[in-house]
């Protein structure tokens, strides 16, 4: 969440932080996250799986949720880089497709668990917004902006709202437990283009 960045070692005295432990913890966290629902991941199990003491966990992270979230972030190298072909509408379609594919897959499962947990944990929620939700919305808004600029979407479009209209159904499905089926992304995109295109 905060303390886990393995940046810059301008070391003072004493034994340095074990990079091996840090990696083992993050790996263990992600493994457990795939095996069982978040509330069933205990600090003890996490420590044992990583071959690490509980104290080490709490020395570097404020809570077990923070650890697991970092494990999730760490395993998440493939953020949705907004594709950029030149045709904004194609980019949009691809972007939404990828987003919905992710939300409908195992990663979405984890994401939903964090969103749910975040409702009772401010820190967690903020980290999640900062690292995932905000950038993703910004990406979407960027593409929408380019489409408007290219004259493919109506000028004066409420871009921020439009981004929320895109992500909204995914959240709705995720949190109500409905599946995010194959064609949903295109239905959303088509609908919006039909409505807001020109």
Partner DNA sequence: AGGTAACCGAGACGGTACGTCGTGTCTTTAT
Partner DNA sequence: ATAAAGACACGACGTACCGTCTCGGTTACCT
Q: Which residues bind its own copies (CB under 8 A)?
A: 37-39, 112-113, 115-120, 122, 125-126, 128-129, 133, 158, 161-162, 164-165, 167-173, 175-177, 187-188, 191-192, 194-196
Q: Residue 66 CA to chain centroid, in angstroms?
A: 14
Is the distance from CB of 93 to CB of 189 less than 8 angstroms? yes
Q: Which is nearer to DNA, 65 or 91 (CB)?
A: 65
Distances (CA, A) of 29 to 2, 5, 49, 51: 16, 16, 8, 12
Under the binding rule (CB under 7 A), the answer on residue 35 touching DNA is: no
Burial class (CB in 10 A: 0-12, 13-18, 19+), 19: exposed
Torsion of CA 184, 74, 35, 107, to 10 degrees: 0
Nearest distance in Å: CB 193, DNA: 46
**Contacting range for DNA; rule: CB under 7 A; set: 28-36, 45-53, 111-119, 130-138:** 45-53
Site size with DNA, rule: CB under 7 A: 25
Please state, as a whole number, how many other Cβ atoms lie within 10 Å of the Cβ of residue 41: 23
Under the binding rule (CB under 7 A), the answer on residue 177 touching DNA is: no
Q: Which of 64, 93, 95, 173 binds DNA (CB under 7 A)?
A: 64
Helix and strand numbers (H, E) in the chain are: 10, 0
Nearest distance in Å: CB 120, its own copies: 5
What is the maximal distance between C-alpha atoms in the chain? Answer: 65
Q: Which is nearer to DNA, 57 or 115 (CB)?
A: 57
Please state, as a whole number, how many other Cβ atoms lie within 10 Å of the Cβ of residue 129: 14
- The three state secondary structure string of 1-29 is CCCCCCCCCCCCCCCCCCHHHHHHHHHHH
Under the binding rule (CB under 7 A), the answer on residue 60 touching DNA is: yes
- Contact partner, 21, from DNA, its own copies, none, Cβ < 5-8 Å per class: DNA
Nearest distance in Å: CB 165, its own copies: 5
- Contact partner, 51, from its own copies, DNA, none, Cβ < 5-8 Å per class: DNA
| Binding site residues, DNA, CB under 7 A | 11-18, 21-22, 41-44, 51-56, 58-60, 63-64
């Amino acid at each position: 969440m905060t303390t886990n960045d393995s940046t810059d070692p301008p070391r003072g005295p004493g034994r340095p932080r074990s990079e091996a432990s840090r990696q083992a913890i993050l790996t263990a966290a992600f493994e457990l996250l795939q095996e069982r629902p978040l509330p069933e991941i205990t600090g003890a199990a996490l420590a044992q799986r990583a071959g690490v003491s509980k104290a080490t966990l709490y020395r570097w992270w404020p809570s077990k949720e923070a650890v697991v979230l970092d494990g999730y972030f760490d395993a998440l190298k493939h953020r949705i880089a907004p594709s950029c072909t030149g045709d904004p509408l194609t980019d949009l379609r691809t972007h939404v497709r990828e987003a919905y594919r992710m939300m409908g897959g195992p990663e979405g499962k984890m994401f939903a668990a964090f969103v749910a947990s975040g409702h009772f944990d401010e820190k967690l929620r903020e980290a999640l917004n900062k690292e995932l939700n905000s950038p993703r919305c910004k990406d979407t808004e960027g593409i929408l902006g380019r489409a408007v600029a290219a004259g493919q979407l109506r000028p004066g479009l409420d871009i921020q709202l439009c981004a929320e209209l895109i992500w909204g159904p995914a959240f709705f499905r995720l949190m109500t437990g409905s599946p995010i089926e194959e064609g949903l992304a295109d239905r959303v995109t088509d609908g919006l283009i039909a409505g807001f295109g020109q």
